[in-house]
Structures are given as structure tokens and as C-alpha cells.
Amino acid sequence: MAEEEQLLLDLLSGDLRSRLLAEHDTLRSLFCSLDDQLDSGGPFALDDLASLAATLRVHIRWEERVLFPHLQTHVSLEELRSLGNRLRDRHGLLGTS
């Protein structure tokens, strides 16, 4: 699990947390399946790619329309900044505090 994902999960409970975990697990599984197909040199199923694209599109829309607005209203600005700074510092990204 990526650090970014764990930081978000630490801020969530209930249905939001469950949905985030379930959708991320589904997406990981779809990515791994496609990766395995590419590694095996076997035929690449376009249906699998279409399934990944559709699942990812729905997930991103849910994050943008539900999850992120929830975090903005339920997590303090100071805590959001702290989390952003922590990730920026850990990954060596540029930005302001």
C-alpha cells in the first residue's frame, strides 16, 4: 500500500474507508492482471483494458466528487498541509509550506 493511500485511510472511517479500500484493491488486481498478460507475451485482451479504464474512470470521479470534498470539510487545513508537506518532503518534491 502506498504511503499516500495509508495517509488517506487514516483519515477515514465507515463506508468511505471501505469503498476506498475495495476500489483500490480492485484496481490493483486489474493492473496486475494486465501486467501478467504483458509479461507472459500472451494475447492482450482489450476487454480487460476497457474494464480497467471504466473502473478507473468511476473511481476517479468518486474521489473528486465525494472523497476529496469530504476530506476538505472534515479535516483541518493545518492537518491537510501537514500531510502534504510530509509527502512532499518524503518524495523530494518542490513546493511551499
77-91 and 3-10 helices cross at what angle (nearest 10)? 160
What own/partner pairs with CB < 8 Å and gap ≥ 24 does 62-65 have?
Answer: 62/19, 62/23
Residue labelled with grid coordinates 471501505:
18
According to the model, what pLDDT value does residue 26 have? 95
Return the C-alpha cell found at 84.
502534504
According to the model, what pLDDT value does residue 96 have? 52
Separation of alpha carbons 23 and 80, rounded Å: 23
Every domain of the chain and the residues it spans: 23-91
For residue 6, the one-letter residue type is Q
Percent of the chain with pLDDT over 90: 44
Whether the full predicted model's pTM is greater than 0.85, yes or no, is no
